[in-house]
Every structure is written in C-alpha cells, then in structure tokens.
Amino acid sequence: MPYLCNSGAFSSMGRCLLVLLAVCSLSAHVVGDERVSYAQDVAPLLARHCLECHGPDAAQREAQLRLDSRDAATTELPSGKIAVVPGNPSRSELVRRITATGDERMPPPDSGDGEGLTAAEVKTLLTWVREGAVWESHWSFTPPQRPQPVDVKQTSWVRSPIDRFILSELERTGRMPLVEADRRILIRRLYFDLIGLPPTPMQVAEFLDDRRPDAWERLVDRLLASPFYGQRWGRHWLDVARYGDSNGGDENHAYPLAWRYRDYVIAAFNEDLPFDQFVQEQIAGDLLNQLSATTSLTGNRDRHNQRVTATGFLALGTKILAEQDKVKMRADAVDEQVDTLGKAFLALTLGCARCHDHKFDPIPSTDYYALAGIFHSTDTSDQALKTDQWKRQQADYDRRLNELNARKSELERQIEAVAGDIIDRQAEKFDRGNVSAITDGYGEGIGIISDPGSQENFAEYDIEISESGSFLLQLRYAAKNARPGKLLINDKVVREKAISQVTGGWMPQHQRWFSEGVHTFRGGKNVLRIQSSPLMSHIDRIRLIRFEDGGDLSQTLERLGKTELEIEAHKKSAPQPVKVMAVIDGQAHDVKLHLRGSHLALGDTVSRGFPGAVSARRSYAADSDYVIGEGESGRLQLARWMTNGDVGAGGQVARVIANRLWHFHFGRGLVTTPDNFGLQGERPTHPKLLDWLALELIDNGWSLKSLHRQIVSSATYRQRGVRNASRDFRGVPRRRLEAEAIRDSLLFHGGRLDCGLVGEPVKAKSQNPSPEDLRKNEEAYSNSPRRSVYLPVVRSNVYRFLTLFDFPNAATPVGKRDRTTVPTQALLLLNDPFVMRQAESLARNILDEPQNKTRSEKQRIVEVYERLFSRPPSESEQDVALEFLREFQATVVGEETAVAAWASLCHTLILSGEFIYVE
C-alpha cells in the first residue's frame, strides 16, 4: 500500500483511514472509555490497511515510516514527525493523517482501499494511541500458555474441559448451548467424521440399544481403532501436504512412486504416530536414528524405511521441469518447499519473504534464506529401501548366482585343460568391410556390427595363427529375426548357413554364443570373412578355440553356453528394492540473499537457520542440538527445532494441528484461516481453548487420537445441528460431505467398496494426454472400487467427480476446502453412470439379499432409508415411496421391472440433500 512520502510534506500513508475527524476533535468523549487490545484489535487493522507500505519491507517503505513495531513507530523521523506518540494522539502523525482532508487523507483515493476505514476502526486507533499504544506480540508469535480453569454457571452441561471454554463465552454474551443431538444423528456424524463412511443399520441399532454410560466412548474408541480412520484422516493431511501423483506445472510428468508416501501417511494416522515424530520424519526422516523405541508402523518393517518414505513430503511439490535456467528451477523448487513447510506446520506464509521482508509478519528475507539454505543443501532423489523381504530375496538370489558362477568356472577350467589357443575379437573391430560399427546405444563397452541398410554386407578379419590346426569358430550375436549369412576362410566358403539362429531380440540382453563348426586355419595370416544379404544380425564377438584332440570340447562349450544363458536369465530376476520419492542431504552450503528474489542479483550470504518469529527461545543457536554442522544440510536440526516447545516452534506446530482437527470436526476452525496464523489471518475465536488443546496434545505424547477423543466426547460436539457455522460453536453446523465421502458412500451402499489399505493407484495418463487418454482416465477412475484416497491425483486432470465437489488444488497446501453449491453437482448425481450403477447395485441388494426376500415392500423401504440416512422413513415417506414404485412398474415393461423401479427409487433418494449432508 502507499505510505507517507516525504516530498516537502508527507503525502501518502496508504490504505490507513478515512477522513472522519479533525485533529482538534480528538478527545475522550469521542473514543469512549473501552480498552483496546493491540493484538486483537489494532494489529489486524494495520495489517489490512497499512503494513504493505509501512511494514518491514524497506524497499517498498514510503517516507521511512514504519508501523510494524513499537520502536520503529515511536522513533522521531528526520522531518521531526513521529508516527505514534503513546498517550498523545495530537502529536501522532498516524492520527493526523487518518483524520486529514484533501491530499493528505489516508488512505488516498487511488489506494485501492475503497472508502478506507470505518468509523469504528478509526475509533479503535484513536483509543489505542490515547491508552498508551501498548504493543503486544501477535498471538501466534508467543508460545501457548496453560489457561486458568474457566468458571461457568451451567456446570451440568459440561462433559469436558473443552465445554467450559465454549460455555463461558456463550454465558458472557447471554446465550446458551443447544441440546444434545439425537443418537441416530450422533452416530452418523461420528462415523463420517472419523472414518468417512456411514454406519450400517445394524451398527446403528447396536448403538441405540447400548445404554451403558460409556457407550459413546466405546463407539469413539472402536472407530479410532478402525483402519478406515487412517484413510479418512490421512486424506485430510494429504490436502495439507499438497499430495499429487504428477508434477503438474508444465509437462505434468507422472510421479509413479508418490503413492508410497500416501500409504505412509495412512499408516501413520492408523498407528497414532506421535505428531511431533510425524513432523520430524517428513522433514528429516532419512537423518533420524535408524533404531527407535517407537513401535514400527507395520510391526516388523524396518522403521528407517518408513522414515525415508516420509521425506516424500518435501519431494512431492509442483516443479517446472521445462525451465531452461537450472539455477532458477532449483530456487523455485526450494521456494515451494519453504512455502509448504511454513503453511503446513506453522500456518505462516514464509514464501512471501523470498523477494522482500514479509510485508505483514516479522519474517525478514534473511530468515527465508536461512531456511532456503537448508533445502538448497538437500537433494530430491528416488531412494531404494532394503526391506526384510528384499534382504531374504537377495540372499536367495546371491546363493543361486554363486552356484551358477561356480559351474561356469569349472567348465572354463575344463575347456582350458583340453583347448589350445583362444583368439577373441570384438566384431566391430573388423579390418575391412561395409557394415556399420555401432559402439554406442547398447551400454558401456558394448559394440556390434550390423547392416546400414539392405545390401551385400561383409566384414573381414585378419587373423594370425602361430601353427596350423583345427579351430572351433563361435559367434555371439542377437537376432529377433533370422538373418543367415556365410562364413569364408581365405576366400573359401566353409559354412553356407551361418548366423541363422534367432535370440528373441536385437539388444545386448538377447546376445547368445553359437558354434559355427570346426575349421582348419593355416599357420600365419588368415582372412575370416562374414557376409550376409540383404541384412545382418547384430554380431558382438568372434571366438576361435584350438581343437587339440577332439574329446568332448564341443559338448563342454555347449554346456558353458547354456550356463551363461542361465546366468543372464538369473540376473534378470534380481530382486528389485522398493523405491520411494525422498530427499537426501546434498552438498551443504549457505546461500546468498536473492535481491527481489532474483538469483541473478545476490546479496550477503545468510547462515542456515530457522525463523525467529516463532521460536520459543531466541537463544536456540547456543544449544548443540540446533547447531548446523559445516557438512550438514540442517534438516535434522530443523526437525528437532520445529517440534520442541521449550526452544523452538513446537507450541506453534501443536496449535496449528489442533486447529486443523477442530476444523475438520466442526467445519470451522478456532482460527478460520488454518494455513495462516499471521497478521493477515483471522484471530482465534477462543484463544485460550486453542492453547489448551495445543498443550493437551503435547502433554499426551502428541497423540492425535487422544485429541480426537477430547473433542468428540465433549458436549460441544454432541450438540444439535444448525444450518450455519457460528463463531461461538453453539450447535454443530450441518455440513456437506467431501467428494471422497460421497463417492465412497455410493460404493459402500452398492456393495462394491474395496477398503484395502495399500497399493498403487489405478493407472492414469498424466503427460500430454490425448482426448482418448482423458476418456480412458475417466473410465479408470469411475470403474475403480477402491476408496477415493487411493485414486491418482493427476494435478492437471483430477477425476471430474472429485473436482465438482470441491477437491482441492494439489499445487499448494490446502487446510480449508471450498464449499460450493452449483447446479453441476446435482446434474452429476443425476446423470453420471457411476452413480446410476451404485443405485442399481443397492437395489439388487435390497431385492436379492436372503433376509430381504420375504420382506414386504414397506419393510424394504425402511431398509433403504436406514442404509442411506441411518433412520427409518416416516409414514408419509413410506407412502410416497410405495406410490413411486407402483407407478414406475406400471409404466415400464421388461424382465427386470422390479430392479428398475427400485434402482430409480434408490437413485432418487441419493439425489436428496440428506444423503450428502451430515447434521
């Protein structure tokens, strides 16, 4: 925003305040007697209207006026003016300019700030200055503090400490919480919240019949122990981790190994991996000690492999692979990592400090490049995991290979015992010929001869023989098709049909040795000629073995050839280690400040380190655990610092994830901007509750399941539903299911849902897909029975069903999905063949299941309602459904009239709001 410019007089303070009062009118009766909080009232106001031009960024600062810190704002400028004089509005330039008229008015008419500040905002600033301009730290830049117990009047409502925080705010405003929701509503709410699937009618009935005092807690524990929990909540984290199965950006190359990170996340949530460890592993899993007291995610799998897999978090980002400037491409990739780290774990927009000091938050560019240095010292590389299974397979492989090599050595010894001279020539090193000598494209050290095209091909070799005698002639070649030729020795044809075998292909792995007979060579120079027409096989080597006394040399050579074939075939069966997208330490180095973010304009070198704004203790650098060694990237130290509440950012990290859990349970976080806790973000509606949740998480070993229990066991969570989310959490908002829950529910009701926990996603073409490729992709998505979390996230071609129901943009962390209501959503449910198939499948289940065959139409209707809505239909709903079935069957002719009628009824109910909304 424009700031004060010193050109004879201050000219533009930018987006600050509408002219409402003259300086002379500043008095107590204008501002009243209420107290103003800087953190709650003033800081957000300044961030919205002033700090863009009067904040930390010196390059854009106008008139050297700063309003982002007390020291800067209360310092006298060369002009003699002071932005803020605590307790004295009449001497404060800020107040003078927000109450000025004409050209000195702030914000100026062309600032883009509309009509400026409201009268209430003006009053806030005036009151703040009069009261002494107290400058508190922004709430998120101070560690969470354990709040004092909260007193409330209606103690009988309280089930959890959470309820005291909520109830105290309600009582303060003269409001009361809502009554507890019906048990059918509660079980459906809880099932979708914790596992993303509806309860079956039997599960509902069991809960309704369970009158034990802890029935709810038992249900909560059972769902948290379900493997479906990890699939549900793992998907929430994948939103934040900007998970994708392709790089997006320009060429949209596939990420064929990304799914292993997805499976790691799901397993981590299912096993309740402590969240601090979850954070550490994603930042520096490869650097953590391989031996850990923590239970392995899979019981017996090497824990280190899981930690390496976790670093896929840093590798998954969008990359512009076509960028020609490789230095810029690396800087962009690092920027994406820094930005993701900041939003996902700290809820701070660290990426804004790449080009300049952050305009709103106390994050200087030096802090950005301190972090950037850590990631510039880190390489992205697919890593092989040596699992227990791979080790066993490798041992079996090595044992068999050793046996074959021993046999080969014995045969070679036998050949040496009976053979004389052995002459070995590389085929491409001919003395004369018109064939092509190919020495590249087949692997290091491998050369062949072949034809350059149809012709009379020949190659001649001058061979010196010390003493005349008989020699076994062998050729090694590859031939997918037979290309026979002749062999000549000293211009005499000695074999008419040579080089006549096929080997299965043209490449080196298809090369085989073949014996081409025993021939006499004279002492001295001989000329061996190989010729073929019109084409020639890919000949690699020529070997002559002196045939001393006959014996079984030919048979031994044949056995040797077969053994070599076995060895080559065995090598193809070598066990391949599992590979994952990961990062590893590269060449450790600090980076220079990039002026205005350009790698072409460099400033001073910045030592690798961490952002100071969220450090619990600024002196962390004196602690050996956080000192980055000369040869270290710094990721390990960063991971420790991020999760340490006493020294580093652990308190902030706990706040952020606690808010995310609250958001996904209530549809609205205590901070409604879950990816931004900075000055541009919203303040928490219940800051003490947020701090309490964060510290509870830490005190309970960073267990997310423990925090789930706290939240869903509260009376706040169990309130009756309301239509709209409220800031005071009076009632639980009615929410539309996410795209995945809608799709999974359809498959669930259709009896086709595959709930397997691991495995590759279905194949989808990502790079340069043709219209036919896109059609096949859509078909693959639609036909897959797996839960939606396992569908590939092709960044430029996400499954249409998901995108229509607000699936997030996977290019950036998303902690809060959009919630739109558009006609295309209803049209999709109405016309999509996938939806129709599930409706028909549900109808067939209702008609064909043994327990339903003897039921009446009314009983079947009750069954459908209980499956889809977790409740029985009313009498009027039953009557309408019966009339619908009668009229439908009366107008449709065919062998499966009943199926068609029931499928139409099921489809109609699926189209209702009750199916895709949870109370």
> For position 359, what pLDDT does the model report?
84
Q: Say what the pLDDT of residue 109 is.
A: 56
Instruction: Give the mean pLDDT of 167-189.
Output: 96
Report the interhelical angle of 687-699 vs 161-172 (nearest 10°).
180
Which of 797, 800, 790 has the alpha carbon at shortest distance from 770? 797
* pLDDT, tens digit (0-9, with 9 covering 90-100), for 649-660: 999 999 999 999
296 pLDDT band, cuts 50/70/90, is: very low
Question: 23 pLDDT exceeds 50?
Answer: no
Q: Indicate the average pLDDT of the chain.
A: 88
At 777-822, the pLDDT tens digits run: 999 999 999 999 999 999 988 999 999 999 999 999 999 999 999 9
Confidence of residue 538 (pLDDT cuts 50, 70, 90): very high
Please choose, from the candidates 369, 218, 220, 381, the residue with its C-alpha nearest in 3D space to the C-alpha of residue 314: 381
Ramachandran class of 677: left when φ > 0, alpha when ψ lies in -120 to 50, beta otherwise: alpha
Q: How confident is the model at residue 31 (pLDDT cuts 50, 70, 90)?
A: very low
Does residue 113 have a pLDDT over 60? no
Q: What is the pLDDT of residue 820?
A: 93
Q: Range with the lowest mean pLDDT among 103-107, 113-117, 134-138, 634-638?
A: 113-117
Q: State the pLDDT confidence band at 622, using cuts at 50, 70 and 90.
A: low
Per residue in 824-863, pLDDT tens? 999 999 999 999 999 999 999 999 888 777 889 999 999 9
| Residue matched to tokens 């050949």 | 415
- Supply the pLDDT for residue 20: 28
pLDDT over 70 percentage in the chain: 92
Q: What is the pLDDT of residue 709?
A: 98
> pLDDT per residue over 476-514, tens digit each?
999 999 999 999 999 999 999 999 999 989 998 889 888
What pLDDT is attached to residue 341? Answer: 98
Instruction: Give the containing element (helix H, strand E) for 460.
Output: strand 457-465
pLDDT band per the 50, 70, 90 thresholds, residue 738 = very high
Instruction: Record the pTM.
Output: 0.81
Confidence (pLDDT) at 44: 77
User: Cβ neighbours of residue 893 under 8 Å, at least 6 residues apart?
Assistant: none
Half-sphere exposure (CA, 13 Å, Cβ side) for 588? 13
Specify the pLDDT at position 553. 72
Bridge-based pairing state of the strands 602-606 and 591-594: antiparallel
Query: At 381, is the pLDDT very low, low, confident or very high (cuts 50, 70, 90)?
Result: very high
Instruction: Identify the residue whose tokens are 């090369």.
Output: 511
Write the pLDDT tens digit of every residue in 299-322.
445 788 999 999 999 999 999 888
pLDDT value, residue 90: 85
Look at residue 414 in the predicted model and tell me its pLDDT. Answer: 80
Strand partners, 580: 383
Q: Which residue has the higher pLDDT, 696 or 552?
A: 696
- Give the model confidence (pLDDT) of 330-374 as tens digits: 999 999 999 999 999 999 999 999 998 888 888 999 999 999 999
C-alpha distance across the termini of the chain, in Å: 43
What is the reported pLDDT for 8?
33
| Count of CB atoms situated within 10 Å of the CB of 752 | 16
Report pLDDT for 824.
Answer: 95
Least confident of 185-194, 544-553, 651-660, 751-760: 544-553
User: For 435-449, what is the mean pLDDT?
Assistant: 86
In which residue are the tokens 């009366």 written? Answer: 890
> Could you tell me which residues are beta bridge partners of residue 488?
493, 529
